[in-house]
């Protein structure tokens, strides 16, 4: 919203300005309304105005939303548009704001059935042939209802993915098409009441009976009840059950041999009547904080017999005579290979979480541009996004949404490449990369949704404006497919492994290559000259930004390795790891931030349109410098950044936040999210207040 400009530094004195307090308020008002194009010179006594009004400063960046959209738009945007249009044309399939759990579950199943049977989308085929298109579909259906995205994910990423990734040709021939067309609805039964993240400690057993050529699936105690199993309470007909494979008489002294965790296809309901099969007990996990369109259930097995062929035997098999064979020599190697094939779920969650963040930021930014509150005396009210405090809340978040967008594209490309090859190094790289990005992005988005809600004031609390539903539905993203704290430890563990290889002269995986150079840099003291450089060109140099991120990671890695070595002498391996755990988590997050920034910088360089590239460079600079400022203590502690440079970074972050605010509307419009997917009245592109009042009956 444009405001009336003033030709002088301020109005002449009048009755309102008769006190020092009122004169100061007038001065502060000018600070809000008339910014300098440049940062104030160091030590200047005068208050340099900083405009926060809707009017753009002369010479500012011009952002073209259409050009930004064209660059952001993935190659599968047409498929997303097809999904959006399908559901918009079917109002009976759209999820209302208020819906009882039972009705939500049935609607969610109808939404998924319509996607497959009416719209003709075949998610399992997409996942097998073009994972990027599959993830694009997942984001699109998540725009309709996050419960739908999770239900589709359970059916195809988890149930279908376990069959095609852990099974062999016979399983694909028997199950693939019927999973794809929803004839065979299924579950992914890994988590137990007593064990979630610690999959190797699962207690469910699958004992081979050589007489009948069957496996006997048993729940030995209540702690082994399969828990939180999506699709189990109502709709699932099969379950991929993760259990300990037990071979009688093949252990030492004729004892049973425990061959470790394997996956088995277990029918749980009759294909015709849908009745629960004998020996299986299913109970409903009940109403949840969110995702109530997904029917989570608990499964108990009592001597349930399945054919030997139902063992998903890609990494280990049992012959008719009970002999066990595997191309992998140890339980740990087989376990790692099994879990390594299931990373698609983590990739999908990271991908979808970025979509949720885009929706939340879009609603918050559009409302902040619309909402006017306070202003100088006798002047129009100004948009709340014109306040520096609001820019501080939302602009780095908008920059993060862009950074995550390019990082997830990189992750999907790496995952797609992995599915086409048998490269073990690439598989290990994708496993750790997906763990780190899933953890970092979902944790960030969970916090961001709450900040977006707060930034929208009371109207953000209305259910129709979506923040409550987004927060509740997304919150579990931090837990399933791997608890975020556990996943970060996997990243830290791999970094330490790479660190050890570095000093043994080994090669580093592609994502970790930067450690070779930055570790050498770390071993020398920071340059006292560059530590004081505070010029804007230097601070906005991507080389400085990326070097700073990587220096921090390298320092954290070197120091935690030394701490672990020290504590192992007295505490042992487990005790030392626990003593250094917070240090390790910080290391993992730092590494992932380095990966994200590197992908963002590369995306900026690759942008063919000059104006769009300039806008993206601005957003990238804000992302990088905001992260450096938020961890400025680390850089100050080691004299990587001198006090004057730290101050300059802080000021530049504020300035860049203001600059991004000037193009904030175009930046969120470039996400190209249809209003029917945004749905929040306060987040509409036009007539927001009118649509909001209509929602409550006016």
Supply the residues annotated as catalytic: 481
**Residue written as token pair 């602009």:** 395
CA distance 534 to 497: 36
| Buried/exposed code over 511-536 (b: 16+ C-beta within 10 A; e: otherwise) | bbebbeebbeebeeebeeeebebbee
CA distance 235 to 184: 10
Report which secondary-structure segment, H or E, holds 214. strand 214-218
**Residue written as token pair 């099994």:** 338
| Buried/exposed code over 79-114 (b: 16+ C-beta within 10 A; e: otherwise) | bbeebbebbeeeeebebeeebeeeebbbbbbebbeb
Report which secondary-structure segment, H or E, holds 318. strand 317-318
- Distances in whole angstroms, Cα of residue 396 to Cα of each of 441, 560, 651, 658: 14, 29, 14, 10
CA distance 683 to 467: 11
H-only helix segments in 60-168:
65-72, 77-88, 101-113, 123-129, 131-144, 146-152, 161-166
Retrieve residue 162's tokens. Answer: 């376990």
* Cα Rg of the chain, angstroms: 28
H and E: helices and strands count for the chain = 25, 11
From the number of C-beta atoms within 10 Å of its C-beta (0-12, 13-18, 19+), residue 609 rates as: middle
CA distance 454 to 108: 29
CA distance 93 to 108: 8
Residue 191 contacts residue 226 (beta carbons within 8 Å):
yes
Residue 90 contacts residue 147 (beta carbons within 8 Å):
no
Retrieve residue 522's tokens. Answer: 């770390």
Question: For the residues of 604-618, what is the DSSP string, one character each?
Answer: HHH--SHHHHHHHHH
Q: What contacts 49, CB < 8 A, 6 or more positions away?
A: 30, 31, 32, 33, 34, 35, 36
Retrieve residue 202's tokens. Answer: 């699962």
User: Diameter of the chain by CA atoms?
Assistant: 102
Closest by alpha carbon to 194, among 214, 222, 216? 222
Distance of CA 370 to the CA centre of its chain: 28
Segments of 548-654 assigned E as strands: none
Closest by alpha carbon to 681, among 698, 667, 694, 672? 694
């Amino acid at each position: 919203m444009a405001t009336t400009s003033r030709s002088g530094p301020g109005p002449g004195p009048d009755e309102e300005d008769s006190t020092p307090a009122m004169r100061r308020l007038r001065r502060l008002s000018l600070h809000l309304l008339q910014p300098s194009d440049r940062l104030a010179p160091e030590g200047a006594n005068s208050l340099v105005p900083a405009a926060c009004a809707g009017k753009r400063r002369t010479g500012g960046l011009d952002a073209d939303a259409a050009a930004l959209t064209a660059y952001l738009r993935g190659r599968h945007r047409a498929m997303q548009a097809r999904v959006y249009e399908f559901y918009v044309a079917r109002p009976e399939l759209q999820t209302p704001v208020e819906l009882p759990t039972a009705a939500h579950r049935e609607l969610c199943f109808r939404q998924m059935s319509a996607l497959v049977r009416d719209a003709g989308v075949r998610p399992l085929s997409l996942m097998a042939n073009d994972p990027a298109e599959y993830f694009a579909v997942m984001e699109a259906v998540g725009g309709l209802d996050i419960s739908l995205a999770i239900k589709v994910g359970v059916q195809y990423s988890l149930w279908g993915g376990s069959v095609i990734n852990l099974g062999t040709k016979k399983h694909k021939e028997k199950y693939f098409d019927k999973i794809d067309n929803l004839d065979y609805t299924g579950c992914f039964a890994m988590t137990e009441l007593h064990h979630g993240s610690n999959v190797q400690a699962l207690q469910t057993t699958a004992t081979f009976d050589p007489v009948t050529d069957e496996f006997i699936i048993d729940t030995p105690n209540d702690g082994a009840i399969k828990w939180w199993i999506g699709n189990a309470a109502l709709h699932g007909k099969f379950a991929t059950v993760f259990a300990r494979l037990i071979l009688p008489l093949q252990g030492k002294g004729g004892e049973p041999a425990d061959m470790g965790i394997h996956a088995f296809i277990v029918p749980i309901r009759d294909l015709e009547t849908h009745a629960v099969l004998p020996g299986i007990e299913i109970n409903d996990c009940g109403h949840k904080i969110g995702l109530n369109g997904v029917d989570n259930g608990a499964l108990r097995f009592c001597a349930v017999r399945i054919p030997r062929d139902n063992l998903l035997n890609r990494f280990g098999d049992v012959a008719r005579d009970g002999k066990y064979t595997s191309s992998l020599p140890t339980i740990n190697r087989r376990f790692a290979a099994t879990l390594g094939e299931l990373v698609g779920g983590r990739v999908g969650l990271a991908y979808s979480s970025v979509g949720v963040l885009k929706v939340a930021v879009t609603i918050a930014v559009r409302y902040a541009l619309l909402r006017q509150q306070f202003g100088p005396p006798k002047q129009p009210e100004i948009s709340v996004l014109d306040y520096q405090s609001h820019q501080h809340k939302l602009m780095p978040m908008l920059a993060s949404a862009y950074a995550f967008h390019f990082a997830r594209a990189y992750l999907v490309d790496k995952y797609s490449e992995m599915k086409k090859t048998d490269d073990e190094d690439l598989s290990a790289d994708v496993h750790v990369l997906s763990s780190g990005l899933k953890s970092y992005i979902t944790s960030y988005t969970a916090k961001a949704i709450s900040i977006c809600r707060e930034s929208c004031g009371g109207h953000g609390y209305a259910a129709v404006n979506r923040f409550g539903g987004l927060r509740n539905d997304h919150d579990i993203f931090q837990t399933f497919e791997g608890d975020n704290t556990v996943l970060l430890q996997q990243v830290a563990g791999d970094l330490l492994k790479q660190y050890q290889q570095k000093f043994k002269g080994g090669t580093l995986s592609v994502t970790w290559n930067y450690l070779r150079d930055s570790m050498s840099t770390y071993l020398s003291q920071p340059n006292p000259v560059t530590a004081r450089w505070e010029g804007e060109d230097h601070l906005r140099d991507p080389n400085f930004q990326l070097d700073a991120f990587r220096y921090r990671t390298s320092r954290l890695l070197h120091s935690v390795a030394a701490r672990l070595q020290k504590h192992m002498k007295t505490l042992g391996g487990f005790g030392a790891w626990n003593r250094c755990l917070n240090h390790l988590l910080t290391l993992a997050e730092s590494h992932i931030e380095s990966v994200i920034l590197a992908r963002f910088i590369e995306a900026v360089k690759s942008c063919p349109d000059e104006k769009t590239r300039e806008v993206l460079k601005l957003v990238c600079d804000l992302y990088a410098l905001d992260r450096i400022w938020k961890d400025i203590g680390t850089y100050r502690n080691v004299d990587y950044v001198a006090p004057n440079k730290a101050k300059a970074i802080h000021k530049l972050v504020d300035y860049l936040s203001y600059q991004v605010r000037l193009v904030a509307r175009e930046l969120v419009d470039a996400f190209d999210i249809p209003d029917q997917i945004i749905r929040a009245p306060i987040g509409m592109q036009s007539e927001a207040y009118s649509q909001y009042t209509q929602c409550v009956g006016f």
